């Protein structure tokens, strides 16, 4: 756990702190609520309990029940009322407890949240953030480990992002709340409280814009592109590959819609090879889109076809089998080997 952080009501926040992703999100939400009193949090168990992952811990205590709402148990209701609150001028942040439960809210997300701005020729803004803990690796039962982000990236009018480290978690959530567009914010739940990722977060200066991908490790032999929970896998894979003298570049997409592929194109033109990594099933996914666009933009630079290490096109398996399903360090390196050996 992070060292106790002084809440702003008690005193000033230190500029640099060592945080987990979970704590960074909590502090980011707190900062967003302090910056704008129109920011509300809505969800199941987000108040007294602080959310099932404790991401909203302490916020209701400090901001009150009218800004942190423990809602009835219905996801369409959470999203649908958030749309109405946004029309009224609020900036709601919805928490969906687990990604597998987002589907009752899918109608409101796709029919209203995504389209109201377009339908009204820009007269209505719906600055709603939908926070979605997603992905596997926590040994959970059915519907608690899925990666449905591609479904949302496919819907025009939504922006979709995913964070992979504490600094991004702290800043991206604030930038998402400040965005005038609806943002689906996918949080890698298995990394929430991962002590290995605990790092110093500069709370004074944002590291860059929200809708931009970033090179997180430089390399020359092959490019790895990933987002959310798979970024750590790729960074670990690159470290392992380096021990064998192979230099892998790792790019954290951060934004899934709009996809910022300029750094990927630039990288592939140098390395000639690309492996896209994601926990989601591969068919019609973010990684499919990357493969299509990279072959379109970098055709003459490619030394091998774009390869992918992803979840399989199956329902998420019982978690005793998830180690086989999730693309891990070995599967990523195996895929890199295939790319290198083309």
Partner 1 sequence: MPSPEQWTHPEPGEGPAAQAAQPSREQVIAGLRNTDAGGAEVTQLLTPEGERIASPQFDRYISDIDPDALRGLYRDMVLVRRADREANAMQRQGQLGIWVPLLGQEAAQVGSGRALRPQDMAFPSYREHGVAYTRGVDFKELLGIFRCTDHGGWDFQAHGFHPYTIVIGNQVLNAAGYAMGQKFEGKVGDDDGEATIVYFGDGATSQGDVHEGFVWAAVYDAPLVFFCQNNQWAISEPTERQSRLPLYQRARGYGFPGIRVDGNDVLACLAVTRWALEECRHGNGPVLIEAFTYRMDAHTTTDDPTRYRLSEELEVWKHKDPIERVRVHLARNGYADQAWFDQIQAEADAFATDLREFCFNMPEPPPERVFANVYAESSPVLDSQRDEFLSYLAGFVEAGER
Residues in contact with partner 1 by CB under 8 A are 66, 71-72, 74, 76-77, 79-90, 92, 104, 107-108, 111-112, 116-125, 127, 156-157, 159, 179-181, 211, 257-260
**In the complex, minimum distance from the CB of residue 293 to partner 1, in angstroms, rounded to a whole number:** 9
- Cβ-contact 286, 134 below 8 angstroms: no
- Cβ-contact 203, 24 below 8 angstroms: no
Nearer to partner 1, 156 or 242 (CB): 156
Nearer to partner 1, 40 or 326 (CB): 40
**In the complex, minimum distance from the CB of residue 88 to partner 1, in angstroms, rounded to a whole number:** 3
CA trace torsion 28, 88, 110, 59 (10° rounding): 30
Pairing of strands 274-281, 16-19: unpaired
Other C-beta atoms lying within 10 Å of the C-beta of residue 323 = 11
Report the run of H or E that residue 336 belongs to, with start and end. helix 329-340
Nearer to partner 1, 139 or 258 (CB): 258
Check if 193 is active-site.
Answer: no
**In the complex, minimum distance from the CB of residue 31 to partner 1, in angstroms, rounded to a whole number:** 20
Neighbouring C-alpha atoms within 13 Å toward the C-beta of 91: 20
Nearer to partner 1, 84 or 318 (CB): 84
What are the two backbone dihedrals, phi and then psi, of residue 315, each rounded to the nearest 5 degrees?
A: -60, 155
Nearer to partner 1, 53 or 227 (CB): 227
**In the complex, minimum distance from the CB of residue 118 to partner 1, in angstroms, rounded to a whole number:** 5
Buried-exposed string 223-251: b where 16+ CB fall within 10 A, e elsewhere: bbbbbbbbbbbbbbbbeebeeeebebbbb
**In the complex, minimum distance from the CB of residue 87 to partner 1, in angstroms, rounded to a whole number:** 6
Candidates 210, 231, 197, 207; CA nearest to 161 is 210
**In the complex, minimum distance from the CB of residue 170 to partner 1, in angstroms, rounded to a whole number:** 21
Other C-beta atoms lying within 10 Å of the C-beta of residue 291 = 18
Nearer to partner 1, 121 or 205 (CB): 121
Nearer to partner 1, 127 or 133 (CB): 127
**In the complex, minimum distance from the CB of residue 255 to partner 1, in angstroms, rounded to a whole number:** 10
- Give me the catalytic one of 117, 143, 144, 324: 144
Active site residues: 144
């Amino acid at each position: 756990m992070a060292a106790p952080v002084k809440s702003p009501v008690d005193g000033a926040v230190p500029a640099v702190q060592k945080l987990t992703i979970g704590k960074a999100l909590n502090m980011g939400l707190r900062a967003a609520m302090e910056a704008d009193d129109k920011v509300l949090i809505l969800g199941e168990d987000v108040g007294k309990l602080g959310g099932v992952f404790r991401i909203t811990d302490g916020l209701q205590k400090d901001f009150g029940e009218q800004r942190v709402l423990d809602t009835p148990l219905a996801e369409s209701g959470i999203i649908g009322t958030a749309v109405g609150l946004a029309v009224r001028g609020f900036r709601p942040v919805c928490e969906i407890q687990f990604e597998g439960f987002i589907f009752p809210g899918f109608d409101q997300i796709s029919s209203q949240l995504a389209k109201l701005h377009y339908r009204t020729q820009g007269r209505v803004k719906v600055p709603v953030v939908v926070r979605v803990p997603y992905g596997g690796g926590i040994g959970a039962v059915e519907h608690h480990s899925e990666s449905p982000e591609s479904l949302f990236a496919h819907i025009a009018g939504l922006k979709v992002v995913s964070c992979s480290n504490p600094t991004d978690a702290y800043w991206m959530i604030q930038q998402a709340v400040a965005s005038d567009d609806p943002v689906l914010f996918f949080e890698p739940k298995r990394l929430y409280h991962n002590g290995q990722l605990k790092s110093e977060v500069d709370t004074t200066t944002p590291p860059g814009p929200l809708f931009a991908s970033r090179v997180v490790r430089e390399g020359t032999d092959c490019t790895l592109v990933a987002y959310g929970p798979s970024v750590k896998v790729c960074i670990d894979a690159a470290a392992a590959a380096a021990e064998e003298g192979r230099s892998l570049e790792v790019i954290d997409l951060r934004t899934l819609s709009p996809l910022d592929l300029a750094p990927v194109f630039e990288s592939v033109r140098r390395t000639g090879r690309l492996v896209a990594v994601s926990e989601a099933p591969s068919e019609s996914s973010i990684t499919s889109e990357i493969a299509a666009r990279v072959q379109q933009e970098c055709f003459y630079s490619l030394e091998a076809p774009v390869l992918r290490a992803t979840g399989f096109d199956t329902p998420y398996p019982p978690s005793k089998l998830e180690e086989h399903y999730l693309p891990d360090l070995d599967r990523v390196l195996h895929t890199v080997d295939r790319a290198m050996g083309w």
